[in-house]
Chains A and B, each alone.
Chain A
Amino acid sequence: MNIIVCIKQVPDTTEVAIDPETGTLIREGVPSIINPFDENAIEEALQLVEKHGGKVTIITMGPPQAEEALRQALAMGADEAILICDKAFAGSDTLATSYALSRAIRKIGDFDLIICGKQAFDGDTAQVGPGLAEQLSIPQITYAIEVEVENKKLRVRRLLENAFEVVETRLPALITVVKQINEPRHASLRGVMKARKADIPVWTAEDVEADPLRCGLNGSPTNVVKVFSPQHEYKGEILEGEIQQVTQTLIQRLQEAKLL
């Protein structure tokens, strides 16, 4: 089976600095890594191909330096990588990004499964995977924690907040995976050496025949008004006094909160 994994290169920190003027991330001086959930996506693809045969192709849309993330994925054992890179894609929101990725995937043509991480570490939108499935008109199953493939049929266990859900669909399909699905492997040295020499094609908007009106800022209805780290305040309250009085107050509070 042929699997396409969509990855994103992200800054290696959860608390990135934000430019107060523009509301965008300050990327200078922050080392870049593969989005951690995307590493799980790569690992799952490698395991499926080890089991069922086929090949793993990695794609990413990003600036020229995103090639580094692709080489890391190749070092883990992926077969091919393609960089989708064009000034025309600059400023893409999740809609424009999923559109650009869908154009590249149409150009690749033959695939059975697309795997994405559940969300990116930096934007945290969790929209590109589902958006991509819509653009390609294929079924999607998000938050996968277990994946089985049998006779062109995909069986996925989804990790929900309080339960698991098991969903089946036909291939081709798209899944997004959670961290708990696997333990991403380390790159072997042979992998690192091979990845260095690998030829990574760069596809422009023209190469993937993307509609200019649906690319980059033109194709992005999202407007970032403000980006900030929320202040978390966990305030507990300690009730003091006689045990009976404290208990009564507690029950009253819980009833007020409609928890009892």
Chain B
Amino acid sequence: MNFEFTDEQKDIFAAVKEFCDEELKPQAQEVDRRGEFPWDNVRMLGELDLMGIPVPEEYDGLGLGFLEWTVIGEMLSAACTTTGAVYGAHVLCVYPIMLFGTDEQKDKYLRPLARGEKIGAFGLTEPMAGSDAGNVQTRAELVGDEYILNGTKLFISNGGEAEIYVIIANVQPERGTRGMTAFIVEKGTEGFEFGKDEEKMAFPSLPNRELVFQDARVPKENLLGRERRGFRVAMETLGLGRIGMAVGAVGLAQAAYDAAIEYAPTRTQFGQPITQFQAVQFMLADMATEIEAARWLTYNAAWRKDQGLDFEKEAAMAKVYASETCNRVASKAVQIHGGYGYTKDYPVERYMREAKLFDIVEGTSRQPPAQRSPEGLKCYKSKYESRARKDT
């Protein structure tokens, strides 16, 4: 058992920390206020090699693990939640191509994604396929050398800004998950348009857009993996996605805690800084403890993934615990700021609004319990594995 990072990891994280402190954090409030996709930040992520961390070096990535990706994502999210979310959504396009892509597909799509020259997005969610990811209605039909896609995706992070999309459609909707098929779709493809950009409670600068497919013509060679094996692509991607959500939540919780610990000693009431009051000390201590627990759950899930061990249960636990932690911590951070915390002069009101996202996305906090308890996990796994097995 060793909880220490290697010297190389420490050097890498120190470089990212410096970048976060100097470039991302000072701009974070402005990024949120502007309501525009943070292209400047995203370009910098590319220049610093942060967009292809787990991608093998032969495809222009860094060839590092998901643990490194996790720790760096946490720092990005703590510095600028929106930029962290873009980084998290991007990998959900990178990873399935890395895992299931042909050499040609990797050459064409993985390289520019890893170099950060192009941004990726992952399109699974539909009006009727949220937590129930198997219920995808978007239709794909092979006509000659092209698949014709019809349907609508919803809430797609990076939608509209991303140039490369991994889309889960269905070649045989009547067969449910066994008809699901993954495709790589480029922005600009005929019949592929962007619909409504959702107006949300927070993250105005992060697009969550509708993807509309109306007889969209996707070349046959853009089939990702094999036909009717899309459910596995989706499940693999969502497994990583849960770690990603935990990463974002831990980063946000840390940012909220940092804001509280910076503010509290400067605030005097009844003739002393409020940190002298035990009630405030207890709050800060609880916040720190929960963040630490959430962080190690998350690191553990990422580490297990890197080791090739089962990590789905751990990822689900981390996702749920970290998202609930960030909601509690952000709320307490506002509490510690008092009236000022309710204003837009301080970032904590934003953190509190942003935190709710993590409770809801990538399987709501009320869904993964089925995957967290040993029995629930067994049911969940047998249900999905039997589907997956029949697929292969």
Where the two chains meet, the residues of A that have a C-beta atom closer than 8 Å to any C-beta of B are: 75, 185-190, 192-193, 196
Contact = CB atoms under 8 A, between A and B. Distances in A.
B48 A186 contact: yes
Nearest to B46: A188
B16 A188 contact: no
Contact of A186 (B7, B11, B18): B18
B48 A188 contact: yes
Nearest to B11: A192
A185 B44 CA distance: 10
Interface in B8-66: 8, 11-12, 15-16, 18-19, 22-23, 44, 47-50, 53, 62
B322 to A, nearest CB: 24
A193 B23 contact: no
A189 B53 CA distance: 9
B135 to A, nearest CB: 39
A75 B15 contact: yes
Given A186-B18, A186-B19, A186-B23, A193 B12 contact: yes
A188 B47 contact: yes
A216 B51 CA distance: 47
List the 10 shortest-distance A-B pairs measured between CB atoms, nearest first.
A189-B49, A190-B49, A188-B49, A186-B19, A187-B15, A192-B15, A188-B48, A192-B11, A192-B12, A189-B12
Contacts, number: 33
Contacts of A193: 8, 12, 62
B65 to A, nearest CB: 13
Interface of B: 7-8, 11-12, 15-16, 18-19, 22-23, 44, 47-50, 53, 62
A148 to B, nearest CB: 25
Contacts of B48: 186-189
Contacts of B23: 186
Nearest to A189: B49
20 contacts: A75-B15, A186-B18, A186-B19, A186-B23, A186-B44, A187-B15, A189-B15, A189-B16, A189-B48, A189-B49, A189-B50, A189-B53, A189-B62, A190-B49, A192-B12, A192-B15, A193-B62, A196-B7, A196-B8, A196-B11
B8 A190 contact: no
B81 to A, nearest CB: 20
Quick one: which of A75, A193, A196 has the most chain B CB within 10 A?
A: A193
B15 A190 contact: no
Contacts of B62: 189-190, 193
Contacts of A75: 15
Contacts of A188: 47-49
Given A186-B44, A188-B47, A189-B16, 11 more contacts: A75-B15, A186-B22, A187-B15, A188-B48, A188-B49, A189-B48, A189-B62, A190-B49, A192-B12, A196-B7, A196-B8
A129 to B, nearest CB: 26
B8 A186 contact: no
Contacts of A190: 49, 62
B181 to A, nearest CB: 35
A47 to B, nearest CB: 14
A192 B15 CA distance: 8
